[in-house]
Amino acid sequence: MVGNVWEWTASVFRTYPYRGERAGDAESRETRVVRGRSWDGIPWNLRVSSRDNYPVSDRYYFLGFRCARDESP
């Protein structure tokens, strides 16, 4: 899951700890969490737990999303 693009998530960015609030509950809903780093990242920091935030209006070559679906039984 690491190495292609930072993955946009649906989570509103909040600093840790949330202090009793859920990740999606925030006053500002304009920044979202991005995870995973991209191909142009520093090697020691390429990990799924990497977390940052960007405004939803921003567009960069290193930000993207992943499509997923459940496998049929």
What confidence score (pLDDT) does residue 17 get? 59
Other C-beta atoms within 10 Å of 47: how many?
A: 13
Q: Indicate the length of the chain as a whole number.
A: 73
Query: What H or E segment, with its residue span, contains residue 32?
Result: strand 31-35
Q: What is the mean pLDDT of residues 44-71?
A: 82
Q: Is the pLDDT of residue 35 over 60?
A: yes
Residue 24, token pair as written in the block = 């999606």
Q: Is the pLDDT of residue 6 over 80?
A: yes
Residue 46, token pair as written in the block = 């390429």
Q: pTM of the full predicted structure?
A: 0.64
Between CA 17 and CA 39 the distance in angstroms is 29
Between CA 48 and CA 65 the distance in angstroms is 14
